[in-house]
Amino acid sequence: MRTLLVPAVLIGTGIATMYDRGWYSSYDAQQCIEENYPGFYVPLENYLMFLPAAGVYGLNLAGIKGKYGFADRSIIYLVSMGLTMATTGILKSGTGVERPDGSDLRSFPSNHAAIAFVSAAFLHEEFRDRSIWYGIAGYSIATFTGVLRMLNNKHWMSDVLVGAGLGILWTKALYLCYPAIRNSFPGGYSRKNNNLSLAPYLSRGYYGFSLHYTIH
């Protein structure tokens, strides 16, 4: 499908440029960073990666409606995020790629880039019928997040490219499949459906959201 072409290219390019492979490899990119930005450290990516997703809810509060209502879009975002993080976690454990700064062996792929591009694709899909600029803004923030991970010496170029591709892939796949998934619930669901609940959680430094659906 044309919708999945971009993530496929990102993932393929990332794999093709791992280590010192390709005409401009991850090692080449890292050497360029070390020569031109020595000692660079701006730790903003922990916040930037969620900004496009926060924008979806902010725009809705401002009266600008997206493709789906609160419950539907929250399900898409959380499931996309869960699948993306599960995939990156498996790959990190299975590949054992060392980070550029040598801090551990969980460099590939970039979880920050993956989350940032889930958020960007989420913003794009929700408001793509309103203006192209929503998507441009979201993907620009996500790209800057990935670049920061490289400049901060935490990830190789290949890590960021594959992470970005996975984030877009899972989000777009969920948007493609969601109508069928939604119709599979008996009676559907909405904000008035007491069977569905969404709540934040915080435990020993871990944070996120929990989604529950009760089947009778």
Query: Using 50, 70 and 90 to split pLDDT, how confident is the model at 184?
Result: confident
| Average per-residue pLDDT for the chain | 89
Q: What is the pLDDT of residue 182?
A: 81
Structural fold of domain 2-213: Vanadium-containing Chloroperoxidase; domain 1 (1.20.144)
Q: What is the pLDDT of residue 3?
A: 76
- 131 Cβ partners below 8 Å, 6+ apart? none
The 3-state DSSP class for residue 56 equals: helix
**pTM for the model:** 0.86
Which H/E stretch holds residue 208?
A: strand 206-213
Question: To the nearest whole percent, how much of the chain has pLDDT over 70?
Answer: 85
Q: Residue 156 contacts by C-beta under 8 Å, 6 or more apart in sequence?
A: 18, 26, 27, 29, 30, 97, 100, 107, 108, 150
Q: Where are the domains of the chain?
A: 2-213
